[in-house]
């Protein structure tokens, strides 16, 4: 059964410390239920006319669609990058209990 309200959001930061700081702030604001860090990523991209080659930490965030606007604003306030990656992917299926947990943890206090 589709769950149009659940989202997986991807971003990257330059260090484990930046990832922990960002995830904790988003958890405190109840904008995400969970943040998973995947260190050891390498990103190659074009930036300001040059090709950059950087080591990064991929951060996978679990949230709901109705929290996305607030999450976008939090990225403006909290994300260490000048132009942060924020890609929101819809969840089409998942364990009902887990998806319910996402809903509970991202409900405004």
Residue 61 burial (10 A CB sphere; 0-12, 13-18, 19+): buried
Q: What is the pLDDT of residue 4?
A: 61
Percent of the chain with pLDDT over 70: 96
**CATH no. for 6-105:** 3.30.70.120
Q: What's the whole-model pTM score?
A: 0.94
Kindly state the average pLDDT of the residues 44-67.
97
pLDDT tens digit sequence for 7-53? 999 999 999 999 999 999 999 999 999 999 999 999 999 999 999 99
Q: What is the pLDDT of residue 108?
A: 85
For the chain, give every domain's residue range.
6-105
What is the band of 1 on the pLDDT scale with cuts at 50, 70, 90?
A: very low
Which of 20, 23, 21, 29 has its CA nearest to residue 9?
Answer: 23
Q: What is the pLDDT of residue 3?
A: 60
Q: What does the mean pLDDT of the chain come to?
A: 95
């Amino acid at each position: 059964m589709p769950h149009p309200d659940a989202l997986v959001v991807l971003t990257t930061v330059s260090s484990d410390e930046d990832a922990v700081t960002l995830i904790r702030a988003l958890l405190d604001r109840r904008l995400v239920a969970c943040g998973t860090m995947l260190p050891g990523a390498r990103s190659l991209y074009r930036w300001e006319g040059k090709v950059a080659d950087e080591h990064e930490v991929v951060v996978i965030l679990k949230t709901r669609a109705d929290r996305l606007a607030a999450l976008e604003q939090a990225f403006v306030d909290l994300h260490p990058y000048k132009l942060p990656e924020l890609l929101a992917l819809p969840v089409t299926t998942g364990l009902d209990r887990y998806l319910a947990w996402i809903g509970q943890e991202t409900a405004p206090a």
